[in-house]
Structure formats: structure tokens, C-alpha cells
């Protein structure tokens, strides 16, 4: 790299604009700590004249980001667009081919094309850094790649999406409905104002799980089917019943090696009120690593927003400025293995099952008999009748059972006219 490092930012949304400001305000501090001088030489976005929170230098604006690579030839490029394909992928791969270091928070891009892009970075002897792609300001990727490099990690799990954690926490605290709390989250900027489905349906956390799996287990990014469920079906009633049971509902991302095979999942879990993960509230993220010889290691911090994301982006910048040319996933691409997928049907948990039923004789016995038929054993049962409506809520806590049994069993309740809606299932975290 030259004596003055040339930096480009592609994407000037909430994160990109904040990053531009941080680089401008902290320029002297970064230069002192890194021992390198830098200059923002180019920025790019769809609209040059869009009103942004922080002013940009329009003299260095390029509508076409590819022209930045061709004409300006920066040393380091921040990709902050956020798409898994299209212009995001084109910008990153073009930059890497032209021996430009790339820093990105784009988990969708890395989870889908990370193997290809990491090889491209290796072949061109440049960095592809993506600390900000998982858990915002928490340095989880650097922790796995460097801090715990000599440990054998067996499991990584935690709260990986701040939006869903806020919604579940606020429903519990305010005793308000999912819809109302979602609107509040959108107003506060915690959820996308238009379509927050990628947070709510678990896809955002799922992309992060895939990245964590590859890093923790030294594997290629998994293409296997993942058990993925979001929080859209969680009702206030479930939050309140969980509280009575000294439990809390959390959307967990889980990656684990079971019998030498890779298991990945994202789904709501019931966890103990007294557990560490049960007390992570609001927009906070928490990641728990299990391995040898470290045992259990916990990292917690804000997982979303321009501040935490920019913090991680700047940590990647420091790494490059200090001359650290690293393998994107910690190992040479040809040393990363492909791993078999654990059979999801064998995944076992105790279950929380909520039935809304007609309050009449024989309904409860039919439910328990059907569960028994599929080898699902009842551990605890709570029945709450509503005499006015002649309906009842039946909650059953089961002993451990596998996914195949629970799936086959619950499907049979569809035809039972005394069961008013499809049962709600929430797994209890082991």
C-alpha cells in the first residue's frame, strides 16, 4: 500500500453514512494508533443528492461503484450495500480481483458466497474482513479466528438478532401484543419500517449461524437444510405462561457438532429465567462458545445499529492498516473441510405445546393419548378453562422427544374439530 491509504465507501445508508462520519471524526486517532495515514477518496450510492444525516463530500461521489475501482483504485473498500447478490457481489469480487482489501458487514453476501469470495481474496493476497456481519459490535469473529484459534469448539449458540430480542423482551415487560410491539420497534429504528420479515422469520440469524459454523468448525459454509423458525407465531399468552413457569422465550441461533456431523438451527426457545441467556434483554446480542480447553466463553453487546456495526468495521480497518494479511476464515481455503449434515429428525428437546380447545369431555384425553402414541411423554400439564366462551387453553410440557415424532404427532391434530387452531410448539433449550 502507498504512504497514504486510499479508502472508498460503497453504500451510504444508515451504516455507510455513519461510517463516513466516524472515519472523518476519528481520522487523527486512527492514524496515530495504526501508524498509517489514510484518506477517503471516493463514495458511492444510488442518489447523490439524497438528504443524509451526515454530510458527505460530493466531490468524491461516484454513482457507479465499479468506476471507483477502475479510476480511483482504492487500497481499501467498504461494501455497505447489504445485498446477497447483484451490485454487492459484483463490487466485492471486482475489488478483490483488483487486489483491493474489502471490509463488509454483509452477512447475506458472506453466508451465500463466502467460500468463493474468500478464495478470491487468498488468490489475490488481500483481506476480506467481515467482523461486523455477526453480532454487531461483539468481536466474535476475531475471537474465534484468533483468540480461540487453538481451542476445539463444539458448540456456538446465542441471541444473534437484536430486533427479535427487543420484541420478545418488550412483550414481556409491557404485556403488549406482538403487532403493537413490532410497530414500536419500527418507530425506534430497531426493525425495518417497510418489511422486517428477514429479522422476524429467522433468516437474519440463520445467515449468521452459517458464518459462525464455518469459522468455529473450520468447514466450508454449509448448504444443508437448516431448522429455521421465526417469532411471528409467538403470542403474548405464550410469554405470560412462560413467565409462570420461570422461563423466558428467546430466538436462538445454534450451531453444534453432534456425532461428528453439523447441526444448525434457528428457532424460539424456552430458557430458564435464571440462566445467563435468559437475562439478555432489549436489542442486546449474546454469543456462547463451548470448547476445549476454554470450557464456556460468553460475549455480549449491542448487536445492531450503525454505532456497533461501525465499531466492528473500524476494527477490521485497524487490522488491515497494521499489515495483517489473513485468511478470511482463519484457514487456507483448501484446508477447510466439507462436513455431513446431522439428521434434523433426530434433534431432541423437551417441548412446550399450547392447545386452544373446546372445553368439553374427552378432548384432553384425546390429546394425551395421541402424544403417547408417538412416544411423547407428558411432564407437566396446565389447563385453563374459559367458562364464558366454553373454551380452554391446554399447555403441556413434555419430556424429551425428537423432531420426527413431534412433527408427525402434531400434524394429526389438524383434523380434530375440537382443537381450534394448530398447536403452538416452542422447544425448551437443553
- Residue 208 annotated to the active site: yes
Q: Choosing from 208, 326, 387, 415, which is the catalytic residue?
A: 208
* Segment (H or E) for 316: helix 306-321
Q: From 67, 84, 73, select the one nearest 126 (Cα to Cα).
A: 73
The set of residues, in sequence order, having a beta carbon less than 8 Å from that of 174 and lying 6+ positions away, is: 181
How many Å apart are CA 205 and CA 159, to the nearest integer?
A: 8
How many Å apart are CA 171 and CA 359, to the nearest integer?
A: 28
Sign of the C-alpha dihedral, residues 81, 63, 74, 315?
negative
Residue whose entry in the numeric block shows the C-alpha cell 374439530:
417
DSSP 419: B
DSSP 429: P
Which grid cell sits at 321?
492498516
Exposure on the CB side of residue 72, measured as CA atoms within 13 A = 28
Sign of the C-alpha dihedral, residues 309, 315, 316, 317?
positive
- Provide the annotated active-site residues: 208
Amino acid at each position: 500500500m502507498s504512504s497514504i491509504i486510499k479508502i472508498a465507501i460503497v453504500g451510504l445508508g444508515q451504516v455507510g453514512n455513519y461510517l463516513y462520519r466516524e472515519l472523518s471524526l476519528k481520522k487523527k486517532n486512527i492514524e496515530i494508533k495504526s501508524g498509517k495515514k489514510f484518506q477517503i477518496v471516493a463514495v458511492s450510492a444510488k442518489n447523490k443528492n439524497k438528504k443524509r444525516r451526515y454530510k458527505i463530500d460530493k466531490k468524491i461521489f461516484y454513482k457507479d461503484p465499479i468506476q471507483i475501482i477502475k479510476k480511483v483504485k482504492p487500497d481499501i473498500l467498504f461494501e455497505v450495500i447489504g445485498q446477497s447478490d447483484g451490485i454487492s457481489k459484483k463490487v466485492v469480487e471486482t475489488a478483490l480481483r483488483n487486489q483491493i482489501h474489502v471490509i463488509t458487514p454483509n452477512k447475506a453476501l458472506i453466508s451465500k458466497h463466502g467460500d468463493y469470495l474468500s478464495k478470491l481474496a487468498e488468490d489475490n493476497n488481500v483481506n476480506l474482513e467481515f467482523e461486523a456481519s455477526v453480532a454487531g459490535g461483539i468481536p466474535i469473529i476475531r475471537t474465534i479466528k484468533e483468540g480461540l484459534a487453538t481451542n476445539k469448539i463444539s458448540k456456538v449458540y446465542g441471541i444473534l438478532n437484536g430486533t427479535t430480542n427487543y420484541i420478545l423482551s418488550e412483550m414481556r415487560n409491557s404485556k403488549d401484543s406482538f403487532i403493537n410491539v413490532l410497530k414500536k420497534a419500527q418507530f425506534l429504528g430497531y426493525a425495518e419500517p417497510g418489511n422486517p420479515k428477514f429479522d422476524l422469520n429467522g433468516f437474519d440469524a440463520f445467515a449468521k449461524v452459517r458464518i459462525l459454523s464455518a469459522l468455529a468448525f473450520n468447514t466450508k459454509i454449509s448448504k444443508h437444510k437448516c431448522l429455521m423458525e421465526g417469532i411471528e407465531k409467538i403470542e403474548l399468552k405464550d410469554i405470560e405462561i412462560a413467565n409462570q413457569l420461570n422461563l423466558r422465550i428467546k430466538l436462538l441461533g445454534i450451531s453444534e457438532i453432534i456425532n461428528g456431523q453439523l447441526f444448525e438451527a434457528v428457532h424460539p426457545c424456552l430458557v430458564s429465567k435464571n440462566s445467563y441467556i435468559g437475562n439478555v434483554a432489549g436489542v442486546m446480542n449474546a454469543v456462547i462458545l463451548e470448547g476445549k480447553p476454554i470450557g464456556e466463553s460468553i460475549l455480549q453487546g449491542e448487536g445492531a445499529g450503525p454505532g456497533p456495526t461501525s465499531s466492528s468495521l473500524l476494527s477490521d480497518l485497524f487490522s488491515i492498516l497494521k499489515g495483517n494479511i489473513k485468511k478470511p476464515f482463519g484457514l487456507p481455503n483448501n484446508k477447510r473441510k466439507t462436513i455431513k449434515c446431522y439428521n434434523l429428525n433426530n434433534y431432541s428437546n423437551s417441548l412446550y405445546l399450547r392447545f386452544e380447545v373446546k372445553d368439553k369431555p374427552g378432548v384432553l384425553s384425546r390429546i394425551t393419548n395421541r402424544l403417547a402414541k408417538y412416544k411423547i411423554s407428558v411432564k407437566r400439564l396446565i389447563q385453563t378453562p374459559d367458562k364464558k366462551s366454553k373454551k380452554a387453553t391446554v399447555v403441556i410440557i413434555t419430556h424429551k422427544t425428537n423432531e420426527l415424532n413431534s412433527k408427525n404427532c402434531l400434524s394429526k391434530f389438524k383434523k380434530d374439530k375440537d382443537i381450534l387452531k394448530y398447536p403452538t410448539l416452542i422447544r425448551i433449550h437443553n
